[in-house]
Amino acid sequence: MFDDITPPQDGAPENEPETKQEHTILDVNPVDTAQRQERKARRASRRKLPETKKTMEKKFKQSGVGKMGVWAIAVVVLVVALSAIGFVFIGKTTIAIVPQQEEIILSSNIVHTAYRNPETGELGYNLFSSSIELTDTVSASGKETVEEKASGRIIVYNDDSSAPLRLIKNTRFEAPSGEIYRVRNSFIVPGKSGSTPGSIEITVHADLPGEDKNINSVGTRFTIPGLKGDPRYDTFYAELKDPIIGGFVGERAIVDEDSLNATRTRLQEELRAQILGSVQDAKSSPIEMFDGGVFATFESAPVIHTSDSTATVREIAHIQTVTFDRNELARILITATLASPKAGKILIDSPENLAMTVINKAGVDIENDALIQFTLEGKTTLTWQIDTETLKQDLVGRRSEALNTIMSGYPGIKSAQATIRPFWKKVFPSEVGNISAHISPEK
């Protein structure tokens, strides 16, 4: 409505002059463009309401976040916050331990001695026994009448005492059937260790030829007739490890001697190539063994005549490997290189870097000799071992400053640093499970 246009009043003359000045629409000056825009902006700002939830969600959707994105961000923030709280207030107490280490260089000028039955302070050694076998087939060249004695492997046990026993050449072993088998060389049966009998594996040969002397039942028990009447008769015995075979009397195919010898030589060469590999596979953490401490003997087993035209040739490598207790060997090495080494359990970090050479190896009777002499040459590091479980038990409930005092009882520790959680506590946890110990050798 326009209040500046008034209709004429009733009864008033149309042409009567007005007594009051009135404004008309024609008198209003137009508002310029700048003022119009300013007024429009002011009205818009007065009408603007706070953004609603829907408006915000719309913006999130337009930005590619959405509801799932919002929740994902919230979860991540929560996890980070809880982790930080757990680390600072709830995390385990940890101990970082740096062990004592010594780098040593061993020279071939130092000769070490190891004993089969060591006394206190001496380095001892044991023998790890194993066998590998290869076979091949050769053609027969005719027939002949022959008499062959059976042979096989037995394990001789000493369940009497820790004292070893030497058995002489041609010692007899009697099977349950009464058949007699003999050894062709003397040997020593090791003493028992605790409740475990000492044992050694050897080859026996039947006293007489014939197939009836063959025994296939592995585990068959043998007695030693020479010990009858002696209390040791029941505690020294043998068991069949591999079948006793090869016994024969009669006519059978002939194998050409040159062909037989060539086959045996080739099989022995192949066995030599496999010996070190078999020793490496046998290595385990409690013991230390070196390639230079491997002794091998070869046995040509009786030819097995499988038919009138072929025969099977068998070659067996019997392996004796010198083994050391890892800690005892490391102690001997550190004693030889340092004037006053620290006490404690020590291990060789890289035994593969050391080369062992047995003195006069060709003249060593490894099964019967009481000692061996050897050198070790190379560079390696010796590291003291820490009993972390005992250390944690010693720290339970103790004040943090007690760590240095307790460490003095562990000569193998070079340094240690404890981080106790929560950070304001000055006492180690009251339970071992809440303490974590980590060994971190220096590089």
Exposed, middle or buried, 125 (CB in 10 Å: 0-12/13-18/19+)? buried
3-state secondary structure of 142: strand
Dihedral of the CA atoms 120, 123, 124, 128 (nearest 10)? 160
Helix (H) / strand (E) element for 331: namely helix 326-337
CB burial string 290-324: b at 16+ within 10 A, e below: bebbbbbeeeebbbebeeeeebebbbbbbbbbbbb
Supply the DSSP string of 221-265, one letter for each residue. Answer: EEB-GGGTTSGGGTTEEEEESS-BB--EEEEEEEEPHHHHHHHHH
Residue 345 phi/psi, 5-degree rounding, is -80, 135
Nearest to 206 by CA among 191, 194, 195, 222: 222
- Crossing angle, helix 53-63 and helix 66-85, to 10 degrees? 90
Write down the H helix ranges in 31-65.
33-47, 53-63
In whole angstroms, give the CA distance from residue 156 to residue 433: 48
User: Considering the entire predicted model, what is its pTM?
Assistant: 0.60
DSSP conformation class of 278: H
CB burial string 187-203: b at 16+ within 10 A, e below: bbbbbbeeeebbbbbbb
End-to-end Cα distance, the chain:
96
Write down the mean pLDDT value for the chain.
81
pLDDT at 429: 83
Write out the two tokens for 318: 């019997």
pLDDT at 407: 83
Contact yes or no for 246/153 (Cβ under 8 A): no
| pLDDT tens-place string over residues 177-222 | 999 999 998 999 989 988 999 999 999 999 999 999 999 999 999 9
Q: So where are the chain's domains?
A: 150-246
pLDDT at 31: 54
Contact yes or no for 200/155 (Cβ under 8 A): yes
Contact yes or no for 390/364 (Cβ under 8 A): no
CB atoms within 10 A of CB 263: 20
Question: Tens-digit pLDDT profile for the chain (443 aa)?
Answer: 445 555 555 554 554 454 445 544 445 455 556 666 677 667 666 665 555 555 555 555 555 555 566 666 766 666 655 555 554 455 578 888 888 888 889 888 889 999 988 988 899 998 888 888 999 998 887 788 888 899 999 999 999 999 999 999 999 999 999 999 999 989 999 899 889 999 999 999 999 999 999 999 999 999 999 999 999 999 999 999 989 998 988 887 788 888 999 999 999 999 988 887 776 666 666 788 898 999 998 988 888 877 778 888 999 998 889 999 988 999 888 888 776 677 888 888 888 899 999 999 999 988 888 899 999 999 999 999 888 888 888 888 888 788 888 888 888 888 888 888 766 777 888 788 888 888 888 76
Contact yes or no for 322/127 (Cβ under 8 A): yes
Q: What are the respective helix, strand and coil percentages of the chain, to the nearest 5?
A: 30, 35, 35
Length of the chain: 443
Contact yes or no for 439/431 (Cβ under 8 A): no
In whole angstroms, give the CA distance from residue 232 to residue 171: 15
Contact yes or no for 57/69 (Cβ under 8 A): no
Write out the two tokens for 24: 């008309």
List beta partners, residue 127.
322
